[in-house]
């Protein structure tokens, strides 16, 4: 007596069974037996939303790419290996070009061309703002040219060398002091004044405000613009150094991930990022309290004669200070957005943008730039304090500013945490959150 036929289940075509077996064999040949996954959400491509489970079991250097296919009533997916794509290290070449251009300026100044941004041509009357106030075109121009020649050599070394062994440490040993010099030492507090007063100077004509005849040209003279140029060069060198370090560590050249997140994971960044935001919001409040008090005639941290003398010699100076304090407080409010939902999704009251995600660079770039500006200004006040320029009885005029480097460091850390928390998955190395779409550098093999 034969076995009863299975009437409830339709027969599976032989070609379908063969195709499924071939798919399994192809997948295991490529990346091992653990790469085939069933998509929990059939209508979504694997790697998005709920369909990304199981990615942690994939071998290193691979990324699940799928072509949805239904065989015998279930979803079958295949994965193909992904090679890491290393982009050309443009940062080093850009830093070398900057060094060549600025070095050419140094040679021209040494040969008598106008525009040397320090010394006698600097509008700093007291010669106390810039650390290079005593420099002159000769030999200052030649020193600039020599510094930039070293910058070209270091930039190309960071770009063209592999970074292995003890020789790989030499470029890093040279580049970071150059970055500190260009970004934090050469600029001074006028950089912050230019950034803070630019919005006021732009709207002043709309409200018929004279501001004592001050214009954008007064806020941004060539010596201050030169400070921006130096900061840009320092950031290019820093970018080249970071790219070089990624190669030394074997990390992805595009995102810097190594597969071991640690303190850079989104969860860890959310924790220490909240602490950084709290510090970045609290530190400038002391400065804001003093300037608002002075605008109201309250001598907080200074003598009353100090307020009266300032108002007599420069009318409106304390209102300008209150404006700067308000500017700093507004920056503190915006800093809260680095850990709040409205810092990730535009609020409903913003027409045209409501509900849309905030671009990561829209928050990170301004926060990073402001962190440099306030740090530079704070270092200027620290230098003045060490030189004995201030009196202890007038602490309100200088003590809050000496904490600005803490503000800048906390703001930079908060911006970094925001970036680490919101950066998407990398299409080149496969690490991070799910990547939607197919990178152009990856070929997806069809099934069947």
Among residues 249, 273, 300, the one where a domain terminates is: 249
The residue with greater pLDDT, 90 or 47, is 90
Provide, rounded to the nearest whole percent, the portion of the chain with pLDDT above 70: 74
Task: Show the domain range for 212.
Answer: 90-249
339: alpha, beta or left? (left if phi > 0; alpha if psi -120 to 50): alpha
Q: Indicate the helix (H) or strand (E) that contains 107.
A: helix 90-110
Q: Indicate the helix (H) or strand (E) that contains 334.
A: helix 317-336
Q: Indicate the helix (H) or strand (E) that contains 75.
A: strand 74-76
14 is a domain residue:
no
Q: What pLDDT, on a 0 to 100 scale, did the predictor assign at position 214?
A: 80
Cα gap 397→303, rounded to integer Å: 10
First to last CA, the chain: 40
Q: What is the mean pLDDT of the chain?
A: 79
The 10s digit of each residue's pLDDT in 361-371 is 999 999 999 99
63 and 43 together in one domain:
yes
Indicate if the pLDDT at residue 69 is higher than 60: no
Among residues 249, 275, 309, the one where a domain terminates is: 249
127 and 170 together in one domain:
yes
Indicate if the pLDDT at residue 206 is higher than 50: yes
96 and 239 together in one domain:
yes
Cβ-count burial 315-338 (b if 16+ within 10 Å, e if not): eebbebbbbbbebbbebbeebebb
40 and 117 together in one domain:
no
Indicate if the pLDDT at residue 74 is higher than 50: no
pLDDT-derived band of residue 87, with 50, 70 and 90 as boundaries? low
- DSSP tag of 246: H
Provide, rounded to the nearest whole percent, the portion of the chain with pLDDT above 90: 50
Measuring CA to CA, how many Å separate 311 from each of 182, 301, 318?
36, 16, 7
115 and 129 together in one domain:
yes
The pair of three-digit structure tokens given for residue 208, joined into one six-digit string: 């018929």
10 Å CB burial of residue 438 (0-12, 13-18, 19+) is middle
5 is a domain residue:
no
The residue with greater pLDDT, 408 or 214, is 408
Cβ-count burial 361-390 (b if 16+ within 10 Å, e if not): eebbeebbbbbbbbbbbbbbbbbbeeeeeb
Place of tokens 């002091």: 177
427 is a domain residue:
no
176 and 205 together in one domain:
yes
100 is a domain residue:
yes
Residue 341's CB: how many other CB atoms inside 10 A? 9
The 10s digit of each residue's pLDDT in 130-173 is 999 889 999 999 999 999 999 999 999 999 886 666 667 888 89
311 and 391 together in one domain:
yes
Indicate if the pLDDT at residue 106 is higher than 80: yes
32: alpha, beta or left? (left if phi > 0; alpha if psi -120 to 50): left
178 and 113 together in one domain:
yes
Among residues 216, 249, 282, the one where a domain terminates is: 249
335: nearest Cα among 281, 264, 272, 388: 281
Q: What pLDDT, on a 0 to 100 scale, did the predictor assign at position 64?
A: 44
**253: phi then psi, degrees, rounded to nearest 5:** -70, -20
78 and 117 together in one domain:
no
Q: What pLDDT, on a 0 to 100 scale, did the predictor assign at position 371?
A: 97
Cα gap 195→371, rounded to integer Å: 12
Indicate if the pLDDT at residue 441 is higher than 60: no
Measuring CA to CA, how many Å separate 336 from each of 289, 347, 349?
19, 14, 18
The 10s digit of each residue's pLDDT in 214-266 is 888 889 999 999 999 999 999 999 999 999 988 888 878 777 787 777 888 88
68 is a domain residue:
yes
409 and 269 together in one domain:
yes
97 and 133 together in one domain:
yes
The 10s digit of each residue's pLDDT in 282-309 is 999 999 999 999 999 999 999 999 999 9
236: nearest Cα among 175, 189, 161: 175
Q: What pLDDT, on a 0 to 100 scale, did the predictor assign at position 372?
A: 97
The residue with greater pLDDT, 74 or 107, is 107
pLDDT-derived band of residue 95, with 50, 70 and 90 as boundaries? very high
Residue 63's CB: how many other CB atoms inside 10 A? 25
Q: Indicate the helix (H) or strand (E) that contains 311.
A: helix 304-313
Indicate if the pLDDT at residue 335 is higher than 60: yes
191 is a domain residue:
yes
Q: What pLDDT, on a 0 to 100 scale, did the predictor assign at position 434?
A: 57
Cα gap 329→317, rounded to integer Å: 18
- Least confident segment among 60-69, 139-148, 415-424: 60-69
Q: What pLDDT, on a 0 to 100 scale, did the predictor assign at position 46?
A: 37
Split into its structural domains, the chain has a count of: 3
414 and 271 together in one domain:
yes
């Amino acid at each position: 007596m034969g076995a009863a036929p299975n009437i409830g289940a339709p027969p599976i075509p032989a070609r379908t069974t063969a195709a499924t077996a071939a798919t399994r064999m192809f997948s295991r040949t490529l990346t091992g037996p653990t790469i085939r996954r069933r998509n929990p959400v059939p209508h979504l491509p694997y790697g998005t939303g709920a369909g990304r489970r199981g990615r942690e079991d994939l071998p290193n250097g691979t990324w699940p790419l799928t072509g949805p296919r239904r065989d015998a009533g279930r979803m079958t997916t295949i994965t193909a290996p992904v090679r890491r794509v290393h982009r050309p290290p443009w940062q080093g070449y850009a830093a070398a070009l900057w060094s060549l251009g600025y070095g050419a300026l140094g040679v021209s100044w040494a040969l008598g061309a106008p525009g040397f941004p320090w010394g006698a041509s600097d509008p700093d009357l007291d010669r106390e703002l810039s650390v290079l106030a005593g420099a002159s075109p000769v030999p200052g121009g030649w020193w600039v040219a020599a510094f930039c020649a070293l910058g070209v050599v270091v930039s190309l070394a960071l770009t063209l060398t592999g970074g292995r062994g003890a020789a790989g440490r030499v470029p890093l040993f040279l580049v970071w002091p150059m970055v500190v010099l260009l970004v934090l030492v050469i600029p001074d507090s006028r950089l912050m004044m230019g950034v803070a007063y630019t919005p006021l100077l732009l709207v002043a004509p709309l409200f018929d405000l004279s501001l004592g005849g001050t214009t954008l040209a007064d806020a941004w003279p060539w010596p201050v613009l030169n400070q921006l140029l130096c900061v840009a060069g320092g950031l290019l060198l820093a970018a080249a150094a970071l790219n070089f370090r990624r190669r030394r560590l074997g990390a992805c050249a595009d995102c810097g991930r190594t597969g071991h997140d640690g303190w850079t994971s989104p969860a860890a960044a959310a924790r220490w990022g909240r602490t950084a935001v709290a510090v970045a919001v609290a530190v400038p409040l002391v400065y804001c309290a003093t300037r608002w008090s002075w605008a109201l005639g309250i001598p907080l941290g200074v003598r009353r004669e100090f307020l009266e003398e300032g108002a007599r010699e420069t009318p409106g100076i304390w209102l300008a200070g209150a404006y700067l304090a308000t500017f700093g407080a507004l920056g503190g409010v915006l800093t809260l957005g680095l850990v709040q939902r409205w810092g990730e999704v535009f609020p409903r009251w913003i027409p045209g943008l409501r509900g849309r995600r905030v671009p990561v660079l829209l928050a990170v770039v301004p926060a990073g730039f402001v962190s440099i500006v306030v740090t530079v200004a704070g270092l200027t006040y620290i230098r003045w304090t060490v030189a004995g320029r201030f009196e202890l009885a007038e602490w309100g005029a200088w003590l809050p500013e000496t904490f600005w480097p803490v503000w800048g460091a906390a703001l930079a850390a908060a911006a970094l945490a925001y970036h680490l928390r919101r950066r998407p998955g990398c299409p080149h190395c496969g690490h991070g959150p799910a990547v939607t779409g197919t990178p152009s550098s990856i070929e997806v093999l069809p099934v069947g």
